[in-house]
Homo-oligomer: A and B are copies of this chain.
Amino acid sequence: MVATNKSNGDSSFIYNPELLRNLEWNSVQNKVTPFITNEQPGEDYFLVRPLQIDDYEKGYLHLLSQLTIVGEITKEEFQSQFLKMQKAGCYFVTVIEDIRDSKIIASATLATELKFVHKCGERARLEDVVVNNTYRGKQLGKLIVLTVTLLGKKLGCYKMSLDCKDPLIPFYKSLGYTLEPGNANTMMLRFESKL
């Protein structure tokens, strides 16, 4: 149930919602049982769509705080960052809203990166995946991850990667991601936090 009633030029979305239409769900049909898609997410009160500039009011940051440190962010700061990301054109922040009470209950971000390698190709990354923990058992994690994964494919990216903690490996394996032998290390350097 994507927001197809919005025009392409609706600048309230962080990216064009038309991109979420007709994703190649047939290629991952065996990974979701019962079968749901971003356009038919299982309940008629779930709406899968790009992040919108008024989602500050819909608990988006509260949802992200289930994932990691968010810190104090004013509405103005949120909107300023939203507009920067919208302008950049490489942030496909995708959410699920429970329209019964206008709350954002899941989110995942596809971020794309321009390359010279791979024939001036584009790499995709999966970032900041979170599902409200009161909505377990509805396959919303699978739904949001597969939605942005299929979007990465649709955008023509040559690969999509993610970093994750050990307990999440089986989940991502079930969706087609692999730990490539000898090439599956994430290393990190944390600078002093500004928070």
Residue of B nearest to A72 (CB): B119
For chain A, which range describes its interface: under 10, 10 to 19, 20 to 34, or 35 or more residues?
Answer: 35 or more
- Contact residues of A: prevailing secondary structure: mixed
**A9 CB to closest chain B CB, in angstroms?**
21
Q: Do residues B159 and A190 form an inter-chain contact, with CB atoms below 8 A?
A: yes
Q: How many subunits of this chain does the assembly comprise?
A: 2
Q: Do residues A152 and B183 form an inter-chain contact, with CB atoms below 8 A?
A: no
**A121 CB to closest chain B CB, in angstroms?**
7
Measured in the bound complex, the distance between the Cα atoms of B45 and A164 in whole Å is 42
**Known contacts A73-B120, A166-B183, A187-B178; A114/B84 CB under 8 A:** yes
Q: Do residues A149 and B179 form an inter-chain contact, with CB atoms below 8 A?
A: no
Residues of A within 8 A of B (CB): 60-61, 64, 67-73, 77-78, 80-81, 84-85, 88, 90-91, 111, 113-121, 125, 127-128, 149, 152-153, 156-166, 169, 172-173, 176-180, 182-191, 193-195
